[in-house]
Structure 1
Amino acid sequence: MAKVALGGKLRDMFRALRSRNYKLFFVGQGISLIGTWMQQIALSWLVYRLTDSVFLLGAVTFSSQIPTFLFGPFAGVAADKFERRKVLLVTQVLSMLQASTLAVLVLTNTVEIWHILALSAVLGTINAFDIATRQAFVIELVEKREDVSNAIALNSSMFNMARLVGPTVAGLLISVVGEGICLLINAVSYIAVLASLIMMHLKPFERVKQERKAWQSLKDGFKYAFGFPPIRALIVIVGLVSLFGMPFTVLLPVFARDILQGGANTLGYLMGASGFGALGGAMFLAQRKSVVGLGKVIIYCMLLFGFALMAFSFSEIFLLSLVLMLFSGFGMIVTMASCNTLLQTIVEDDKRGRVMSLYATAFMGMAPIGSMLAGSVAEHIGVAYTLLGCGFLCTISVIPFAVNRPKLRQMVQPIYERLGIAPEIATGLQSASNLTSPPEDR
């Protein structure tokens, strides 16, 4: 009986993989993401090895992510207007060319810092359209609407499995054969995701006739997202985590080399530990059968993320640093994926691309600003105090969301009634009411 129950639980945890198109996407994207993480670690180590500059570490991250902030909203309009598979095929081919160019420059020892900055900006522009489209595309791949939240959680687990494997392998390869091979492997890995997209069997694309121009469509998307407080609150949470929390990845090469007295493999282990924690967080979300309670989960996990970063800033012990990276990875990914799941659940289908582009803008677009700020501050006060401040700002950023959570829950109740999960929501509301009511009223 125990084996049967365990088997059923595992099947339920991976239920979105029953959809053939999603299974193809999951495998192809998973292979490609391992290469992506290998490239990220290789570039971070290469830049710090060539320049010894924390500021330039931040500058490279800034150049790779600021295009998402600038072009993300327009990418959302494209995701709602054009066939999403074709958009993704174009972005993946362009990403492969970018990685190939970078690999050639590094392998021929002709790379300079301006090459890295320019090519990072090119990739950032491509990603602005890729991320928004990919987030909206997932809905088309899942056959049952109730499996959407599971698909989003599995997406996070795929992302973080790659984050666990990629940096660890990259750290070992860099110490043996250098950064160029990691970049070459990333270029080749794009073949997997291109093949998965080509093999999918999708319904014929029907272009929605839009009488409004792109600019008006963009304005409508902003008005819809920021005019509805639950969507606005979730996007703000994602933006704050990216602004204050994500810069820790920029500072990790300095911690690995100068504080923990390690090499590229140390950096790989730190990123791998963060990825392992994030993978655990994604699996935690995958086993959940309902979105009920995710608001409370966001609060606890954002606090966990902030406290883990503050503790890591003091650590000079390698094993302790690994454990703290594990907790930070768990807290960060559960916060981000929970916001993603709630957004995908409550957003209207015809505005999904635009809203998810705003999510991507908050996720990827605020991170470069935080990275530049963190790099600049670290040059003056050191990386330890900088990361301490980042963690503290993460912990206090969640306070407004925590205070307003009961009101936000009431606003989304009609949506969940329409989707058929109102009884669970009502239970959640009643529980929350019991918790917030005075003792004499209980």
Structure 2
Amino acid sequence: MTGDGTPAGAPARPSFRAVFAVREFRPLFGTYTLSTIGDELARVALTVLVYQRTDSPLLSAITFALSFLPWVVGGPVLATIADRFPRHRVLIVSDVVRAVLVALMAVPGTPLAVLLVLLLAVSLCAPPFESARSALMADVLEGERYAVATSLTNTSLQLAQVVGFVGAGALVTVLDPSVVLLADAVTFAVSAVWLSAGLQRRPAPAEADEGPTSVWRETAEGLRVIGRLPRLTAIITLLWTGVLFTNVAEGIAAPLTDGLGGGATQLGVLLAANPLGQTIGGLVVARFLGTARAERLVPAMVVVSLVPVLLAGLVALSAGPGRGAFLAVVALLFVGGLGCSWLIPLNVAFVQAVPAQFRGRAFGVAVSGLYGVQGLGALGAGLAAEEVPAAAVVAVAGGIGLVAVVPCLLGLARTRPGVAGRHRAAGPSVS
């Protein structure tokens, strides 16, 4: 039996309505979507601003990647906050702090260097917030309801990115970036109020631990939880490797769009192509595929996520500037997004395999790596694009990615037989 009473292997899946009927899921879902839209508005505005001022692919990529930096240098440590303090409080405080910092970024005439420092400070709130949100989702929902909710949340993330990217591309052409940043600050303020009104007050999970605690010990615990379960290690390896190569085009989207003859509006459309594909693919996974069936399709979906990256780079490189080439690249990135739905079943498998008291820490490690490889991928792509066309960088990333994921997929397959039962025994008993 699954956690919600559905017989294992049964084709029935909880409806979206049944998931939204859970009162605490609604603010968790809604605020995450709202804040993501605001974040993408701000990210595109800053990326365009830096590229316009400097005409440097590397500096543009650094701006795009800067929000990922806290995950790389301190994500696992910052994520322990989600287990040391009440998770609802972590969410609310993180949003209040981000609302204030982004409002400061919106002050007209703020020097570029100050904007980037404030962006880094805003990003420091992301690891505890994301870890607390993911852990609280597993507390609020269980079984197939949790799986459907996770798929819905991932789909919402992609759709929010589509709206944010396309909206930002259009708004930047008619509004000052300060106005766009102020809109981002408002989304954080609304999120904090909504979470405060909609979440149940729960004690910190770490309060049940025995003995003295520290963030360093708890960080090490999160790493050990992943390291001692081969299944989790295999999932993490595939997640990090696949994401490293599927998101390269985002980091150098400004010079790539420029090479195709596009402007700010086209930049927003190009950035939205992959998330839109993930939105549609995620809806299919969430509503029509069970977790087990979706996981069996992971190898095929991984290939589908990378081949279009290779082809998009080749098309952009060979065709040159023009509407036809731009539309072809956008279409290929959209197909790649459909393939990226493989992230959903692995996300569900990972989070449900971790004991409840370690979810915040383990999720922090996983997401730190995900954001870290995205940031490193963007920086590497930006550095390479200083010397060669951005289209060539995208094509090479797609080709290398197809080779790099092969051992990861083999490792995932080796851990699947006979391991699921042990994971369930080690995992939490949700009531």
Q: Select the structure that is richer in helix.
A: 1
Residue aligning to 2:8: none
CA RMSD of aligned residues (A): 2.3
**Structure 1 position 297, deviation (Å):** 2.6
Deviates more, 1:292-301 or 1:76-85: 292-301
Residue aligning to 1:253: 254
1:256–1:73 Cα change, 3 Å: same
Give, as a single letter, the amino acid of the residue that structure 2 aligns with 1:308: P
Give, as a single letter, the amino acid of the residue that structure 1 aligns with 2:338: F
Q: How does 1:280-299 map onto structure 2 within 5 Å?
A: 280-288=280-288, 290-299=290-299
Candidates 400, 404, 416, aligned match of 1:409 = 416
Residue aligning to 1:174: 172
Residue aligning to 2:125: 126
**Structure 1 position 226, deviation (Å):** 1.5
CA displacement 1:11-42 (0-9 Å, x = unmatched):
72453212011012222222222111111111
Residue aligning to 2:42: 39
Give, as a single letter, the amino acid of the residue that structure 2 aligns with 1:321: V
Secondary structure at the aligned position of 1:176 is classed as: coil
1:16–1:350 Cα change, 3 Å: same
CA displacement 1:174-230 (0-9 Å, x = unmatched):
111232221111111123311221112425425323415322332222122012111
d(CA) in 2 for partners of 1:315, 1:289: 33
Do structure 1's residue 230 and structure 2's residue 237 form an aligned pair?
no
d(CA) in 2 for partners of 1:327, 1:285: 15
d(CA) in 2 for partners of 1:243, 1:204: 36
CA displacement 1:259-303 (0-9 Å, x = unmatched):
221111101111222221111122122114532134433222221
The total of aligned residue pairs comes to: 406
CA contact (8 A) 1:306 1:393 kept: no
Deviates more, 1:41-50 or 1:25-34: 25-34
CA displacement 1:385-417 (0-9 Å, x = unmatched):
111121112212221132233431124321476
Secondary structure at the aligned position of 1:198 is classed as: helix
Candidates 395, 406, 413, aligned match of 1:399 = 406
Residue aligning to 2:196: 198
Residue aligning to 1:343: 350
Secondary structure at the aligned position of 1:292 is classed as: helix
CA contact (8 A) 2:41 2:180 kept: yes
Secondary structure at the aligned position of 1:19 is classed as: coil
d(CA) in 1 for partners of 2:37, 2:176: 17
Secondary structure at the aligned position of 1:410 is classed as: coil
Give, as a single letter, the amino acid of the residue that structure 1 aligns with 2:138: I
Q: How does 1:353-372 map onto structure 2 within 5 Å?
A: 353-372=360-379
Give, as a single letter, the amino acid of the residue that structure 1 aligns with 2:33: G
Residue aligning to 2:154: 156
d(CA) in 2 for partners of 1:201, 1:174: 35
CA contact (8 A) 2:245 2:306 kept: no
Give, as a single letter, the amino acid of the residue that structure 1 aligns with 2:293: G
Residue aligning to 1:51: 54
Residue aligning to 2:6: none
CA displacement 1:335-367 (0-9 Å, x = unmatched):
322221110121111211111011111111222
Which TM-score applies when normalising by structure 1?
A: 0.86
Deviates more, 1:410-419 or 1:59-68: 410-419
Query: Share of identical aligned residues, percent?
Result: 22
Residue aligning to 1:275: 275
Secondary structure at the aligned position of 1:177 is classed as: coil
CA displacement 1:99-149 (0-9 Å, x = unmatched):
111111xxx2x243322331222122121222222221211232x433111
Candidates 69, 74, 84, aligned match of 2:72 = 69
d(CA) in 2 for partners of 1:373, 1:167: 22
d(CA) in 1 for partners of 2:14, 2:113: 49
Deviates more, 1:80-89 or 1:199-208: 199-208
Give, as a single letter, the amino acid of the residue that structure 2 aligns with 1:208: A
**Structure 1 position 156, deviation (Å):** 0.7
CA displacement 1:307-356 (0-9 Å, x = unmatched):
11111112341221221121122223x13222211101211112111110
Residue aligning to 1:323: 331
d(CA) in 2 for partners of 1:18, 1:415: 32
d(CA) in 2 for partners of 1:193, 1:81: 22
CA contact (8 A) 2:252 2:382 kept: yes
1:350–1:419 Cα change, 3 Å: closer
d(CA) in 2 for partners of 1:358, 1:411: 25
CA displacement 1:238-275 (0-9 Å, x = unmatched):
22133333232111111222x22111110111122222
Q: How does 1:86-97 map onto structure 2 within 5 Å?
A: 86-97=89-100
Secondary structure at the aligned position of 1:219 is classed as: helix
Secondary structure at the aligned position of 2:203 is classed as: coil
Give, as a single letter, the amino acid of the residue that structure 2 aligns with 1:168: V
CA contact (8 A) 1:299 1:398 kept: no
1:43–1:19 Cα change, 3 Å: same
CA contact (8 A) 1:25 1:193 kept: no
Do structure 1's residue 27 and structure 2's residue 37 form an aligned pair?
no
Residue aligning to 2:7: none
Give, as a single letter, the amino acid of the residue that structure 2 aligns with 1:118: V
1:320–1:342 Cα change, 3 Å: same
Secondary structure at the aligned position of 1:213 is classed as: coil
